[in-house]
Structure 1
């Protein structure tokens, strides 16, 4: 990852433990850092340190929904020292952090990376991530793969589980997109489907129904 001159200087100070003034507490460990670096990348952190909040008074930020390794990857990103290997190992946590703390560049980097290696095996997982975090480019990629390339027919069991447990609006959107392409997954009997609150309710075919 490319570093700016300021990032390089702060990274050296962090490495040497010079003037660190904030402790980031995560699951399994704590990491020292500089408020200025965190605040420069995130309006959320900037707000914490600019007002009379607990984080400012205690010189500590509690990130109780990230592992210490994931949090270290986040700090490394902010200082411009994150390796590709470390990024890929903690990509899901970094996406979560980018969304939670409003770090647009990190969120965009994660989205591009997720697009690069989307495939039939992970397309439904990626689609749900795109829906959850508002990643429009990733969502378009997944929808194209599922609907236009008809990969939905290659993963019947995974799609059944997605239809059963996934977000109702997202499931309905996939089914409607299939319908517009002129087909529907064969394991659903849309003739007996109902509509509840304008959402498509999918009714699986019975085992003895004709194909």
Structure 2
């Protein structure tokens, strides 16, 4: 009897598992406000809105009240709200963050607010903050009388429960890019050297050839320069080539901040186009579209025209069509360069802004 009891106590207990999964979709929208000073004193409960944007089948917009949503807030606060526009027959649960971007385009935790809310399926139903930011503080953060509100919106849908196998094998995330980054950093096995602006960079020719058809032709084709001890690259900054190498080995931009600046991105886009790196070209184009302002739009448009980046060109033309923007841009050195380097683009600018402006 004792042996039977011991056997029963030590026998493994059958186990099963299940888990609850919640379906959700996340997207972001940036709403840029130009000439903010012209919106002041428009009155409490008066607002300007972004274009509608779609997330998970629902349409939304951002509404900004420069003089607040209530009379008591008029002198002190700007109000910001997320508004439901269409696409629902029942309540929609969302989690959203509204952030005021700083002058460098980065999100500041001090100027971000997050909440979870249920929107009714009624056009105009809104949630947000009446006292989003003190107007005196906002003026300190303005860049050329402009600011951007970024909304990151997660639509939370149905949840369901499913059975889970008790034999779970954790699969690590891919770290292929990390191994290639170490190859570039460690320098082992490097067999080709480049001279860029007086600085030397070493690399693995097979990696370069695998990632770029231009490098493949230079290193292994009829253009190969294998007899040279060092390949000299003209018309490129060392920092740009360093960023180019980092992308070739990791498929990502380096983390150092200077690559995210407008001029550096322009140089990197040129390098990406030169070496046939389409993904890098698209990354630079997307980032430049988000960094257009009065001081940079002319040089960015010239770049877009010269390198046939259609989306970037359209974004520049759209920015120039905004009220009073062209008059300010015409005073910049970049506009003077644009008129001489890309004279044909002037007619497109005129078509975009006429008849409200005169080039």
TM-score class, shorter: 0.7 to 0.9
Matched, 1:177 2:349: no
Q: Secondary structure at the match of 1:37?
A: helix
Any gaps of 5 or more consecutive residues in structure 2?
Answer: 1-172
**Counterparts of 1:68 and 1:16, CA distance in 2:** 19
Give 1:79 shift: 1.8
Task: Report if aligned partners of 2:209, 2:216 keep a CA contact under 8 Å in 1.
Answer: yes
Matched, 1:28 2:236: no
> TM-score, normalization: structure 2?
0.46
What are the residue-to-residue correspondences of 1:1-211 with 2, within 5 Å? 5-58=175-228, 60-80=230-250, 82-88=254-260, 90-158=264-332, 161=336, 164-179=339-354, 182-185=355-358
**Counterparts of 1:141 and 1:75, CA distance in 2:** 28
- Structure 1 residues 43 and 59, CA, compared in 2 at 3 Å: closer, same or farther? farther
Count matched residues.
182
Instruction: Give CA deviations for 1:155-193 in whole Å, capped at 9, x if unaligned.
Output: 3423873574241211122123333xx3341xx6xxxxx
Task: Report if aligned partners of 1:73, 1:87 keep a CA contact under 8 Å in 2.
Answer: yes
**Counterparts of 1:143 and 1:32, CA distance in 2:** 40
- Structure 1 residues 4 and 166, CA, compared in 2 at 3 Å: closer, same or farther? farther
Task: Report if aligned partners of 2:298, 2:329 keep a CA contact under 8 Å in 1.
Answer: no
Say which structure is richer in helix: 1
Task: Report if aligned partners of 2:304, 2:313 keep a CA contact under 8 Å in 1.
Answer: yes
- Structure 1 residues 140 and 51, CA, compared in 2 at 3 Å: closer, same or farther? same
Instruction: Give CA deviations for 1:93-140 in whole Å, capped at 9, x if unaligned.
Output: 211110111111111111111011111222112111111111111111
**Counterparts of 2:269 and 2:345, CA distance in 1:** 20
Structure whose alpha-carbon radius of gyration is higher? 2
**Counterparts of 2:343 and 2:315, CA distance in 1:** 20
> TM-score, normalization: structure 1?
0.75
**Counterparts of 1:148 and 1:31, CA distance in 2:** 44
